[in-house]
Amino acid sequence: MVAIGLIIFVPRSQLESVGDLNNFITGICDGLQAADPKVRPYLHPIFQEPGRERIDPGYALLIENDAKVVSITVKKVAVADDQ
């Protein structure tokens, strides 16, 4: 099982024009899985280690199918335009 948490920091002036949240998360989920379903992707070792609960963001992650995603939390956060 995979859970995704995503916070997108956007300049306040672009908050409504930068894109829909569903497009951001769809792209991420599609990018996590193999493009060709016949090719077995590299599975991060954490999926094979019982008892591990977190994936370190320093490691690459690829899953066989984004159907393994069981939870998604995503939000856009406005920041000052000059940041």
Q: Report the C-alpha gap between 78 and 67 in whole angstroms.
A: 30
pLDDT at 59 over 70: no
Give yes or no for a contact between 13 and 79, defined as CB atoms under 8 angstroms apart. Answer: no
pLDDT at 7 over 80: yes
Higher pLDDT, 27 or 32: 27
Report the range of poorest mean pLDDT among 21-25, 27-31, 73-77.
27-31
Q: Report the C-alpha gap between 78 and 39 in whole angstroms.
A: 40
Q: Is the dihedral of CA 11, 15, 19, 25 positive or negative?
A: positive
Q: What's the whole-model pTM score?
A: 0.58
Q: Report the C-alpha gap between 8 and 26 in whole angstroms.
A: 14
